Amino acid sequence: MEPQDIIAQVRGRRKEIVACLGDLVAARTVNPPGDERAAAAVVEKLFRRRRIPYEKLEKAPGRTNIVGCVGEGRPRVAVVCHLDTVPAGDGWKTDPFKATVRKGRIHGRGVKDNKGPLASCLAAVEWLKEHEDELAGQVLLIGAADEECGSEFGTRFLLRRPQFRRLDAAIVPDAGHRMETIDVAEKGMLFLKVRCHGRQAHGARPHSGASAIYPMAELALWLNKWHMPGGTNELFMPPGPTKNVGVIVGGAAVNMVPATCEMQVDMRYLPGTDRDELLATVCNVIDRLERKHRGAVFEIEVMTEDVPTQVPTDSDVYRALSGAVECVTGKRPSPFGMGGATVTKQFIEAGIPAIGICPGDPNTEHVANESIAVDQLVDFAAVMAICLFALVGNR
277 and 250 within one domain: yes
Task: Please give the average per-residue pLDDT across 295-320, as a whole number.
Answer: 96
Express each pLDDT in 21-32 by its tens digit: 999 999 999 999
CA dist., res. 53 & res. 266, Å (int): 43
Mean pLDDT of 71-80: 97
pLDDT at 221 over 70: yes
Say whether both 129 and 155 belong to one domain.
Answer: yes
**CATH label of the domain that carries residue 223:** 3.30.70.360
User: Residue 395: is its pLDDT beyond 80?
Assistant: no
- Torsion, CA 319, CA 320, CA 326, CA 329, rounded to 10: -140
Q: How confident is the model at residue 394 (pLDDT cuts 50, 70, 90)?
A: confident
> Would you say 40 and 115 are in contact if contact means Cβ atoms under 8 Å apart?
no
Longest dimension (CA), the chain: 84
User: Has this prediction a pTM greater than 0.85?
Assistant: yes
Are both 123 and 258 inside the same structural domain? no
Question: Do 263 and 354 fall into the same domain?
Answer: no
Section 47-75 average pLDDT:
98
- 301 alpha carbon, distance to own chain's centre: 24
Residue 269's domain spans which residues? 188-306
pLDDT of residue 38: 98
Which one of 282, 306, 330 terminates a domain?
Answer: 306
Whether residue 185 contacts residue 311, with contact meaning beta carbons closer than 8 Å, is answered with yes
CB 382 within 8 A of CB 7: yes
> Per residue in 165-220, pLDDT tens?
899 999 999 999 999 999 999 999 999 999 999 999 999 999 999 999 999 999 99
Clarify whether residues 355 and 218 are in a common domain: no
Closest CA to 97 of 105, 106, 88, 84: 88
Per the prediction, the chain carries an average pLDDT of: 97
- The confidence score (pLDDT) of residue 128 equals 98
DSSP 107-128: ESTTTTTTHHHHHHHHHHHHHH
